[in-house]
Amino acid sequence: MRRTTRAALTLAAAVTTIAALVGVAAGRASANYPPPTLRLLCSAAANNATLETTPLPQVCVLPSGQTTAPNNYAATIAARKTGAAATITFTVTAGSLPPGLSMPTSAPSTSGGVVITGNPTRTGTFNFTIKASAGGLTFTLGYQITITVQGPPDQLVCDPAVNGGFLENGVCQLPDAILGQPYTGHLATSHRAGGTLSVVSGNLEPGLSLPATFTGSGDVVSGTPTAAGVAAGNGFTVRGTGDQGQPLYQAYFIQVQPDNQPLTISNGPNLSAGFAGQAGYFANFFLSGGAAPYTWSLVSGHFPPGLSLTTCCNDPRNANDELVGTPATTGTYTFTMRVSDYNGDQATQQFTVVIDQPLQVLTTTLPSGTVGVPYSYDLDNSAQGGLPPYNWFVVNNINELPPGLTLDTTPPDFNNLLAGTPTQAGTFSFPMQVQDSSNNWANATLTVTINR
């Protein structure tokens, strides 16, 4: 029996006490970490709203309403609380809701917020501030609601069919400008009835200007840019009023391209090969010069069956720049592509795509051999399709090969030769894997009989 000394008991007690203290400390820390948070949310996903970030303070623009029936209005003051559950209270601390609308003053933290509802009775743009409070936490955000007689309020439009613009992450990407050449970029409005605009953050590219007032379809950024590239001055945000004093707000970006760079297609004529029945084919078309947005189109010839054009990489300013799909038929296909830029400049290029048979192992029963007689068989004779040269690999264990045989290489292939002098009779099966130069793979179990 092991003797327990007083010193050992004292040490054990000390360790137990320390462990208990550490457990208490850890429990207290975990109870408060991560710390609770409270936020008011503003996004298309959270409450179908738009957050105007510049200039400060930020303003959450809620959906518009109207006084003409049907005029039932609903907009969410979205909130998110983490940590212990608690009731969130909502208070209007500045400004006022549009007449006819009301808001609950509290909601459970799990509800996602409260909903402003009612029937607006007066037109105008109403700005107000809401403070959310819960468990000692507060968060404040400004809001805006525009009420019209009927229909949506005037707003700045970003649409390729209207002004060549594409909305990306809330920023309207206007058509490119070219260094040293006259430029016109349209800041179109939905009501096309005139208004005022000014740059409230960022800067126009040197050489470009924006009138403070406009009539008709919208304002115009115009001039001759004097500097090229992605610079701080390329991004700017405007704010103003449309017809009937309704607020206008939008962030824009203009890329200034270097001068003397004609639009050209920079790849081809041969695109990457494909394989019939093999999904996941893609080939991109590349360009240089010109002014975005660009559009690719087929001019003559036809694509391999099963392939079609799509827009790569979530970049709508380079439309139909990728050939994708599952090739259906082998053959060599030649076609001509055209790319057009925003200024109407064009470039064409002929391309060729070869669609081959997919890589497969057709012959799985190999020629027989005889004990004591040298044996040699090129495994490439069992493969078909893909793009040679081929690399062969034993899937499990090299010892599964017939005794006396091994894999040898005849460049440019690898491990393609089953060779040696058999030492044992029998029928031997062994899984093999073949890889082609396009990194396609095929598996098969090969069988060879060795006679006495």
Closest to 224 measured CA to CA, from 175, 179, 164: 179
* Mean pLDDT calculated for residue range 284-290: 95
| pLDDT tens for each residue of 147-177 | 999 999 999 999 999 999 999 988 999 999 9
* Mean pLDDT calculated for residue range 349-365: 95
Q: Is residue 11's pLDDT more than 80?
A: no
* Mean pLDDT calculated for residue range 110-117: 91
- The answer as to whether 28 is a domain residue is no
pLDDT of residue 7: 37
pLDDT of residue 234: 67
Q: Are 296 and 253 members of one domain?
A: no
* Mean pLDDT calculated for residue range 383-393: 94
pTM score: 0.72
Task: Give the least confident one: 76-90, 94-108, 217-231.
Answer: 217-231
* Mean pLDDT calculated for residue range 267-293: 94
Q: Is residue 10's pLDDT more than 70?
A: no
Q: Are 116 and 74 members of one domain?
A: yes
| More confident: 317 or 217 | 317
- The answer as to whether 88 is a domain residue is yes
Q: Is residue 194's pLDDT more than 50?
A: yes
pLDDT of residue 3: 37
Domain-ending residue, one of 321, 356, 391: 356
| More confident: 24 or 137 | 137
Task: Give the least confident one: 32-36, 207-211, 431-435.
Answer: 32-36
Q: Are 431 and 418 members of one domain?
A: yes
pLDDT of residue 227: 81
Task: State what percent of residues in the chain have pLDDT above 90.
Answer: 77
pLDDT of residue 27: 43
Q: Are 341 and 414 members of one domain?
A: no
* Mean pLDDT calculated for residue range 416-442: 95
pLDDT band per the 50, 70, 90 thresholds, residue 204: very high
- Of these ranges, 26-30, 55-59, 294-298, the one predicted with the greatest mean pLDDT is 294-298
pLDDT of residue 33: 67
Its domain, for residue 125, covers 37-148
- The answer as to whether 153 is a domain residue is no
pLDDT band per the 50, 70, 90 thresholds, residue 19: very low
pLDDT of residue 1: 35
Q: Are 410 and 430 members of one domain?
A: yes
Domain-ending residue, one of 356, 380, 398: 356
> How crowded is residue 328: how many other Cβ atoms within 10 Å of its Cβ?
13
- The answer as to whether 41 is a domain residue is yes
Look up the CATH number of the domain holding residue 66. 2.60.40.10
- The answer as to whether 66 is a domain residue is yes
Q: Is residue 59's pLDDT more than 80?
A: yes
- The answer as to whether 297 is a domain residue is yes
Number of domains in the chain: 4
Q: Is residue 233's pLDDT more than 80?
A: no
pLDDT of residue 428: 96
Q: Are 241 and 295 members of one domain?
A: no
Quote the mean pLDDT of the chain: 89
pLDDT of residue 84: 75
Domain-ending residue, one of 211, 241, 257: 257
* Mean pLDDT calculated for residue range 291-303: 96
pLDDT band per the 50, 70, 90 thresholds, residue 24: very low
- The answer as to whether 172 is a domain residue is yes
- The answer as to whether 223 is a domain residue is yes
pLDDT of residue 56: 85
Q: Are 226 and 251 members of one domain?
A: yes
* Mean pLDDT calculated for residue range 382-388: 92
